Chain A
Amino acid sequence: MSALSPARNSTRDDGESEFLATSCGFTINTEEDFPEFTDHGDLLDIIDFDDLFSVAGDVLPDLEMDPEVLAGELSDHMNTSSTITTTSTGSQGETNKKGISGKGEEVISKRDLNETLVAETVVNYDRKRKHSSSGSTKNNRISSNEGKRKVKKVDWTPELHRRFVEAVEQLGLEKAVPSRILELMGVHCLTRHNVASHLQKYRSHRKHLLAREAEAANWTRKRHIYGLDSTGANANGRNKNGWLAPAPTIGFPTPPPAAVASPPVNHHHFRPLHVWGHPTVDPSVMPHVWPKHLPPPSTAMATPPFWLSDTSYWPRIHNGTTTYLPTVATRFRAPPVAGIPQALPPHHMVHNYKPDHGFGGPRSPVDLHPSKESVDAAIGDVLTRPWLPLPLGLKPPTVDGVITELHRHGVSQVPPAASCA
């Protein structure tokens, strides 16, 4: 034991790897030998979703493609290949031309594979083909209006996305089928296909965020405890329990400036799932990110980076402008993904975690990026339970002083009788 401890003490900063190296005679290099243990978040950052979703934008990999539509579109293209020079079919021919160039290599290869299948069933799919091509006609018309794009791309505007999300919520995330979503959205320029691919991205994004959030929630909580612990211990010699459990009716008589002004650790408050494509978000606030995409949404990215999430949360994007989170985000977090027991959004966490003595909430004093949800929750708590003790215990202002000051500013009625406008 005594032989080991000196070594341990000396290498403590660098972790166990050196310790093991010195004492056991071999080296463990955690960075190089175990690259696959990087965080899933990094993985998602690395994965090029463009590759998955194909350069053409909203074209899905084989996973979810409705065989009918696929066959329908293939027969489109097959049709096109033989009639590409004859523009006598008019707009339909034009559409198919655009369609085939848009689909690119992926569909062409599929076409080769499926030629026989389509040939056999072309009678049945003719009807569907007409539908799909009429859908894509409109789509391409729109795309061509946007500057002669050959890709059959859907521009997921915030408004469009909002309707998408509404539809998904109505159906329930698990039950949200592209065809029904399309019905609910009532948008004509979308194909089921577009919706399906959008849905796929949306689901995957949610899962990722929920997982992240679970991690963050745990981390935040731990930090919180450690933060309070050393504050309490240093400032007053009180231990953690002392800090957390003073007489419930008293605020914190101990120096609040010390507590607030010198928290030992500052860490990010991990934001909850952010609204994706919420239409009211100020576009100048650009926190958003979809794992690979860079903000802002006006970039030429194939898919809309309207997924909003906290930049501070997302390790790659870091512009620190984010303080705004629309409160509608709570809607997305309503159905917690099963199997992630800790993936409760901070909004719920606020209520579950809140101790009943007067601490005032689960937020650590060291939040650097207050989320709107947390703020809203905290404020809501105060409004509904005004008898709770003050979290900081600041010396209250004199009532007369405040009233006089308000009169000077022209506010005569306190509290205001009418609602503020």
Chain B
Amino acid sequence: MGDHSSSQASYIHLVHHLIEECIIFKMGKEECMDALFKHANIKPVITSTVWKELEKENKEFFEAYERRREEMPTEKETAQRIRDLLARTKI
């Protein structure tokens, strides 16, 4: 039974770790659920639950994260222009 709880804890830790990786990719919660299901066979409900709990524990981070995600389209455009510029200047 002790083993049961520690396996639960380690599983949750695993999902937590995976979610952090997804965040590095700037994924949202749904994308993350999808990716973890597709690549790691983790039930989306579990992903979403862990995500929500992470949000509770790290409110500020997630608020900032969401704000940054909203800015993404304009940043995309900027990045596009940077890329074009670099492409042109490359010999």
Contact = CB atoms under 8 A, between A and B. Distances in A.
Interface of A: 37-39, 41-42, 215, 219, 256-257, 260-262, 265-268, 312, 315, 318, 320, 323, 360-361, 363, 365-368, 370, 374-376, 378-380, 382-383, 386, 388, 390-392, 394-399, 401-403, 405-406, 409, 411, 414-416, 419-420
21 contacts: A37-B91, A257-B61, A260-B23, A261-B61, A262-B68, A320-B73, A368-B75, A368-B76, A375-B22, A375-B39, A378-B24, A379-B40, A391-B24, A392-B61, A395-B57, A396-B12, A398-B57, A399-B8, A409-B49, A411-B46, A416-B46
Given A398-B53, A415-B7, A420-B43, A386 B65 contact: no
Interface residues of B, number: 60
Interface in B23-75: 23-27, 31, 35-37, 39-43, 45-46, 49-50, 52-54, 56-58, 60-61, 64-65, 67-68, 72-73, 75
A80 B75 CA distance: 60
Contact of B16 (A260, A315, A390): A390
Contacts of B1: none
Nearest to B9: A399
A243 to B, nearest CB: 15
Which 6 pairs show the lowest CB-CB distances between chains A and B? A397-B53, A370-B25, A261-B64, A415-B11, A266-B75, A395-B57
Contact of A402 (B40, B49, B58, B73): B49
A402 B68 CA distance: 26
Contacts of A323: 31
B41 to A, nearest CB: 5
B90 A39 contact: yes
Contacts of A402: 12, 49-50, 53
A376 B54 contact: no
Nearest to A255: B61
Contacts of B20: 360, 390-392, 394
B75 A361 contact: no
B42 A420 contact: yes
Given A367-B24, A379-B40, A390 B53 contact: no
Contacts of B18: 379, 382-383
B57 A420 contact: no
Given A368-B26, A411-B46, A375 B35 contact: yes
B interface majority secondary structure: helix
Nearest to A383: B40
A378 B58 contact: no
Contacts of B35: 375, 379
Contacts of B64: 257, 260-261
B80 to A, nearest CB: 7
Interface in B75-91: 75-76, 78-80, 82-84, 86-88, 90-91
A261 B24 contact: no
A397 B42 contact: no
Interface of B: 5, 7-14, 16-18, 20-27, 31, 35-37, 39-43, 45-46, 49-50, 52-54, 56-58, 60-61, 64-65, 67-68, 72-73, 75-76, 78-80, 82-84, 86-88, 90-91
Contacts of A403: 8, 12
A406 B45 contact: yes
Contacts of A399: 5, 8-9, 12
A396 B13 contact: yes
Given A380-B39, A382-B18, A420-B37, A215 B90 contact: yes
Given A219-B86, A397-B53, A399-B12, A419 B41 contact: yes
Nearest to B43: A420
A414 B12 contact: yes
B55 to A, nearest CB: 9
Contacts of A267: 79, 82-83
A331 B46 CA distance: 31
B72 to A, nearest CB: 6
Contacts of A39: 87-88, 90
Contact of B24 (A365, A398, A406, A409): A365
A386 B80 CA distance: 35
A401 B53 CA distance: 7
A374 B22 CA distance: 10
Given A37-B91, A378-B24, A397 B17 contact: no
Given A406-B49, A415-B8, 7 more contacts: A257-B61, A257-B64, A261-B68, A390-B17, A402-B50, A405-B52, A411-B43
